[in-house]
Amino acid sequence: MAARDGARVPAEHVSAAVTAGTFVYSDGATQTFDADGSTRYFETGRRTEGTWSVDENGDFCSFWPPSYQASYRLQWVVEEGEVVGLRFSDLTTGARFDGRYR
């Protein structure tokens, strides 16, 4: 599949896209996603655990106990024809951040 920078990640590819590797964010935090729906976020020596899923609209959803939930539209980040990460766009706030594959 040829991905285009900024194009939405199709629902059927979300799982493969998020589990393809460890993500590194601009602030140095890292995150991993497992196929079973678990995720771990590491920031300044602190580890948090949550879960992720894909909803009926093909959007990426995350849950961080005890009560934080968010939904994101995922887009490809492509440089020189290669997928280098994903852009997460919060469906509620519009905030965007990129996770780059390590």
Please state, for a pLDDT cut of 70, what percent of the chain lies above it. Answer: 99
Q: Two tokens at 3?
A: 């991905």
* Cα–Cα distance, 7 to 87 (Å, whole number): 10
- pTM given for the model: 0.92
Domains of the chain, start order = 11-101 (2.40.128.640)
pLDDT digits (tens, 9 = 90+) for 55-75: 999 999 999 999 999 999 999
- Beta carbons of 71 and 63 less than 8 angstroms apart: no
The confidence score (pLDDT) of residue 13 equals 95
